[in-house]
Amino acid sequence: MVVLHFYRREDEKGSGLQRALQSCPKITIRTESCFNVEWSGTSAPSPEEREALLWLFSSPFEPELVREKPFLTPAEGERLVEIGPRLNFSTAWSTNAVSICQSVGLRAVSRIERSRRHLIQPRDGQKEKLLDGEVDSLTSILFDKMTECIYSRPIESFAVETRPQKVFQVDILGEGRAALEKANQDLGLAFDSWDLDYYTALFQRVQRNPTSVECFDLAQSNSEHSRHWFFRGRMKVDGVEKEETLFSLIMGTQQHSNKNNVIKFCDNSSGIEGREVESLFPTDPTQASAYQRLPSKRHVIFTAETHNFPTGVAPFSGATTGTGGRIRDVQSTGRGAHVIAGTAGYCFGNLLIPGHNLPWEEPGFEYPPSFARPLQVAIEASNGASDYGNKFGEPVLAGFARSFGMRLPNGERREWIKPIMFSGGVGSIEDQHVTKEGAELGMEVVKIGGPVYRIGVGGGAASSIQVQGDNSSDLDFGAVQRGDAEMEQKMNRALRACIENRAGNPVCSIHDQGAGGNGNVLKELSEPAGAVIYASRFKTGDPTLSVLEIWGAEYQESNAMLVRPADTAFLRRVCEREKCPVDFVGSVTGDGKILLVDDRDGEKGKGLEGGVEQRDRTPVDLQLDWVLGKMPQKVDRSVTGLVAQQQCVGPLHTPLADVAVVSLSPFGTVGAATAVGEQPIKGLVSSAAGARMAVAEALTNLVFARVTDLRDVKCSGNWMWAAKLPGEGAALLEACSAMCDVMAQLGVAVDGGKDSLSMAARVRDETVKAPGVLLYVPLSPGRYRLGGSALAQCFSQLGDSTPDLDHPDKLTACFQTTQSLLQDSLLSSGHDVSDGGLISCLLEMAFAGNRGIEVDLPLDGAGVLEVLFSEELGLVLEVRESVVAQVCERYRDAGLSCLTVGRTRGLGPYSMVKVSVRGQEVLCERMTSLRGLWESTSFQLERLQANPVCVQQEEEGLANRTGPNYKLTFDPAVIPSILKELGEVRPRVAVVREEGSNGDREMAASLLMAGFEVWDVTMQDLCSGTVTLDPFRGVVFVGGFSYADVLGSAKGWAATVTFNPRARAQFAAFRSREDTFSLGVCNGCQLMALLGWVGSESEDRDPKGVLLTHNQSGRFESRFVSVALLPSPALMLRGMEGSTLGVWVAHGEGYMQFRSLALLDQLDSQALAPLRYVDDSGSPTEHYPLNPNGSARGIAGLCSADGRHLAMMPHPERAVLGWQWPWAPVEMRDALVHSPWLTMFRNAAAWCLSSQ
C-alpha cells in the first residue's frame, strides 16, 4: 500500500489566507494542493488509471495545472508549510472522493486526503528574513487545530502509531471508590460524587468489578446530557423540597391544551395531528420505478437539539454535527419519518469585530484557550450548519442570533463563552408509523449509515461537565465530532425507501445514534428485552479502534434499527441501491441483558467458546435495569419545494419573517407553522418574566400564520442554563414554573424539548454564566419598562424592571382576533414588537417593504425613550385604509386597544421615515440610511465570510434598490390543447439522480403536474444495467451536491458518465435520438456543461466549452432572483420569451467560465443563452447579489442549438406553485395561482406528444 501524490496549482483566496496576509503585510503566500491517494493495488496504477486520476483532480480548461511533482519549492529565506487533516480518521471529503473513484472503476483507491501547501515568501523589496515566530503565528491562522495538523514531510502512509487500548478491570472490590475515582480521571467519565458512591456500592453489591468499557458506558448513558437527571430530580430551594419536578411541571401543561398530540415526551420528536394529503410514492423503492400520487394521513412532527459544547470547541464541525444529529432525531421518530425543514439559533459573546467597535462591548474580557472566540463561533458555526443542511437537502427557514457579554453591577460577568447552537426541525410521519414496536426475541439489530471512527469519544460526559474548562482540553478535543452530510443523505434515502414501501415498512423500531454512541443507542433500542452485539460486525473506518471506542464513540450519520429476519433482504437491496452502508450487528435475546462480544480475532459472532476467559471476550455484560431501569428513556431556503414562508420577506428579500411555514405535500396547502421565542436578557432581570415573555414572543410571531386553534399550538421547551451553580437551580425552577403557569392560562402546552444545564465556562479563576435561555418553537398593553432591553444593553446596563406578560387573557384575545382577520384577508402585513421596541418594529416593517413611513405615537405616561424602546408586547399591523375602522372595531370588541399611529409613504431609495411622539418629531431620515445602520454589523460579518468586493456591491446597491420588475408575456393558466386530451399513456421522463442529489422530489412533482409519467432513476440503476434510458422521452438531471462536489461541481457525476462503459453508452444513445429532450438544473446544469451537452463550440472537438465554478461571492447563495427569458430555440421556453420572472437559486458554484470570449460571443449571437439574471430595470446584470454568482452578461442558463437540451442554474421546479413564491407584486398575485414556471414543463410534455 503506497500513497501517491498529485499536485495542483491554486489561486487560493480563502478567509484564513486573507487574514494571514493582513496580519503580516511584508510577506506573500503562494499555494498548491496535494491530493494524497492511498493506493492498495498489488501493482502501480496503469497509464489509464493515472489518466483517470489526473482527470479527476484537474480542471477541464487547465489540465496542465495538475502533475505528480510539486510546483512549489522553497528557496533560501522562504518557508513551505503543508497543512492537512489529522490522519487518525478519514475525512468526509475523502469518503466522497473515494466513492467517486469506486464509481469510475478505480477500486484500488482506499483513501484520498487533500492537503494545502503554502510557500511563505518575503514580499518583493523586503530584505528581512522571516523569523520562526512570525511563520508560526501566520501558520496558526491558516488551519483549524481541532481537525487539521501540519505535515512535517509528505505523507507516506495513513497508518497512525496507535495501539487499541486494552480492556481492563476497575478493581472496586479490592480498592473501593478510589479505583473508580482513578478511572473517572483517566477516562474522562465526568462522574460526580453521587455517581462515584452509587456505582461503587452497585458493583460491591453484585460482587464483581466493572470493565473499563462498562464504566465508560455507564458514564455516557447516565450523563446529564443523556438522561436529564436535573429535570427529573426532586429540587430543594432554601432547604425546602419542592413537590413537583421540573419535568412534571412541564408535562402538566398538557392538561390545558387540545389533545392533538400523537407523540409527546416519548420519542426523538414530538408530533401533532395532521391531515390526509396526497404524496409521491415510488412503485418499487428497490429499483427504478414510476412515481404514484397516493393519499395518506401525515402528522406534523418537530424536534429541537442543542450542540453547545462541541460548537464552542470547534464551531464549524460542532454545528455540522449538531444539525446532523437533529436531522436524525426527525428521521428516527416512530418507525421512521420524513425530514422537511430546519430552524437555527445562535447565542455567543461579544463579537469584537476588528475595525467595527461597538461601545457596549468590553474589549478587555479574557476567554479560555480551549474555546473558540465569539466572532469565530458567529462565522463558522453558521457556516457549518448551513453547509450541512445544504448538502443534505434541508432548508433552514427561521432562526435567531444574539450576542451578549456584560459585567453586572454586582461584579459578576455574564456572557455566552460556551455558545448556544440551537437546531430545530419540522418533519412529517405517516399515521401507521407513529408507534415503535417493542424489541422481540430474534429481531435483527441493525446499524445503518457511516462506519465507526475515533471521534466524539466521551461527548455525552464531556457536555455534562459542570463548568467547562475544568476538564482536560485533550478530552475536550476528543469529544469533537465529524459531519458527513452526504452519508446522512444516503441513510435518509434508504430509510425513506423503507417507510414508502407499499408492501410494508420493514423497520420495527429506529433510534438515532447520539450521546454515548453504540453503547447508548443499542441499549435504548433493545430495552427491555436485551441483545447480544458482536464487535466484529461493525464496519470500522480505522483498524486501530479499541472495543471501548467501537462501543462509545459518537461518530455521526448512524442510526440503529430493529428488523425481522424476513425483511433483511429488502433492506440490503435498498441500501445497495442508495449506496448506504448497513451492518447487522446482533440480535435480540430476551434475557434483559446487553452483551457486547469482542470477537474481532477471527471468530466472527460465534460467542464465547474456545477457552477464552469470558470477561476478556465480553467487555460489556450489564443488566439493563442497572443502566436504564429507573431512568427515562448559510442556507438553502427552497429545497424540497415544500417551503411556503422562509425568513425573508418583501420585494428585497429582507430577513424579517416572524414565522416559517411548510406544506406537507406539493399537491395541497395543509402544512405546519413554526416560530421561535427567546428572551434571555430579560431573564437576567427576572427569570419568571423572561420565561413568560419568551412564550409570548413565540406566539406573537406565530400569529401571522393561519393555524387551526391556539390550543392546538405545541411548544418544544429548550433549556440552556448553568443550573448546577449556586442559586441558578432556583432561578430555573422559577422560570419553569412561570412558563407552565402562563401556558395553562393560554391553553398551549410543551410536548418535548432538550436541555443543556452546563452553560458555564471557566476563564482562569472566574466562572462566567450564560443568561438563562428558554427557546420555544411553536404579547401587554400599557407600560413602558426598559429592563433587559436592547437599549439598556447598549448602555451596558440591565435595568431593574422588565416587560412581562401581565395579562395572558389579552394575549389569547389578540391571537384569536388576528387569526380571524387573516382568515378574512383584512391584514396586509404585520410584525411583533420585540427586541429594540416599537421603533425597531416600525423600522423593520419599513425596511422589508422598501417604503417610507410617517408615524405619530399618541402614547402618554412615558418619556420618548421609553415609548420608542420599551419592549412591551404588541403588534404593528398594516391594513388597507378602507378597512381601518373594521379592523379597529374587531380588536376593541375583544377588549383590546387599537390606535391609528401612521401610514406608509413613498417607495424606494428616496422614501423617508418620520416618527413623532405626541406630535413632537423625534426622527426624520431617509429610509435607506436607517437601513444601512441596521444592516451595518451584518455586513461587517459578511465581509469575514464572503468576498468583500461582493459585500460592498450589495451594501451600496441596497441603497438604490426599487424592487423586482416582473413581467408576463403569456397566460400561465392556458394549458396546451394536446395536454387536455391526455389518456392513460403519458410521455415517460426519468428524473436521474446521483449520490448527493437532493432536488428530485420537487422535480418529480412538477413533471407530474405537467402531465408526465415520472420515474425515479439512480446512476446506480444505470451503471448496474437494471434499467436503460431507451423507454424515456426525457431525462432530467436534478440539483444537489453529487458526491458533495468534493472534486468540483458535478465532477464525480460526470466522471461516472465518462468512465463507466454502461453509463457512457446510455447517455450517448439517448442524446443522439431526435425524439428526446433533457433538462439539467443546478447540479444537473453543471453536469450537462461538463458533458458538453450545452455550451460546446462544436461536437467535433473537445465539447466542453463552459465550466461552472465557485460564485464570485465565495459562498453558497440561496436567493429569490429575477430572471429574464430571451428568444431562443429552447423547446421548454417556447412562448415565454420576453417575460421576467422570480425564481429560486441555491448554489455555491454557479459562475460560468467560458473557454474563450469568442465562444461566449458565439453562444450569445446564436441565442443559446436564453436565461439572464436581471436588475430592477429588467436589464441583464453582473452586479451582486442580483446576479448571485457573477456570470458574464448575467447568463443563468444555456441550451443546445436544436433546443432539445436546456441547462439552468435557477430552480424552476421550486417555483411552480404560487405559494412557493416568497413575494410578488399585487397586480401579479392572481396569475400565480398557476405559476408561470409550470408552463416550461407543460411545453416539454406537449412537445413529446406532438413529436411522436
804 vs 779: CA distance, rounded Å: 9
**DSSP state, residue 782:** S
Closest CA to 749 of 774, 778, 773: 778
- Kindly report whether the peptide bond that precedes residue 1225 is cis, defined as omega within 30 degrees of 0: no
Identified catalytic residue from 1082, 1085, 1199, 1248: 1082
Q: Which cell is 959 given?
A: 441603497
549 vs 551: CA distance, rounded Å: 5
Check if the beta carbon of residue 118 is closer than 8 Å to that of residue 78. Answer: no
* Other Cβ atoms within 10 Å of 618 Cβ, number: 21
* C-alpha dihedral sign at 1233, 1234, 1236, 1238: positive
State which amino acid sits at residue 247: F
Exposure letters 192-203 (e unless 16+ CB within 10 A, then b): beebbeebbeeb
Query: Is 24 part of the annotated catalytic residue set?
Result: no
641 vs 991: CA distance, rounded Å: 15
CA 121 centroid distance within chain: 39
Query: Is 1211 part of the annotated catalytic residue set?
Result: yes
398 vs 1032: CA distance, rounded Å: 40
Identified catalytic residue from 38, 215, 1213, 1234: 1213
957 vs 928: CA distance, rounded Å: 11
Q: Which cell is 806 given?
A: 401581565
958 vs 971: CA distance, rounded Å: 32
Closest CA to 853 of 896, 812, 921, 907: 907
* HEC assignment per residue over 738-773: HHHHHHHHHCCEEEEEEEECCCEEEECCEEEECCCE
Query: Is 101 part of the annotated catalytic residue set?
Result: no
DSSP 193-204: HHHHHHHHHHHH
Phi and psi for 991 in degrees, rounded to 5? -90, 105
455 vs 553: CA distance, rounded Å: 6
Identified catalytic residue from 511, 1147, 1211, 1234: 1211
600 to each of 163, 539, 549, 597, 670, how far by Cα in Å?
15, 12, 14, 9, 52
| Beta bridge pairs of residue 1171 | 1125, 1197
Three-state SS at 117: strand
Q: Which cell is 333 given?
A: 421518530
Check if the beta carbon of residue 892 is closer than 8 Å to that of residue 822. Answer: no
Q: Which cell is 54 given?
A: 489526473
65 vs 662: CA distance, rounded Å: 46
Residues sharing a CB contact under 8 Å with residue 612, sequence separation 6 or more, in sequence order: none
156 vs 109: CA distance, rounded Å: 15
| Beta bridge pairs of residue 345 | 400, 422
* Run of H or E residues at 1022: helix 1019-1024
State which amino acid sits at residue 101: C
DSSP 598-647: --TTS-TT-TT-SS--HHHH-SEEEEHHHHTTTS-----SSTTS-EEE-S
Count Cα atoms within 13 angstroms, Cβ side, for 1148. 21
DSSP 113-133: EEEEEEEEEEPTT--SPPPHH
Q: Which cell is 341 given?
A: 425543514
As annotated, the active-site residues are 1082, 1211, 1213
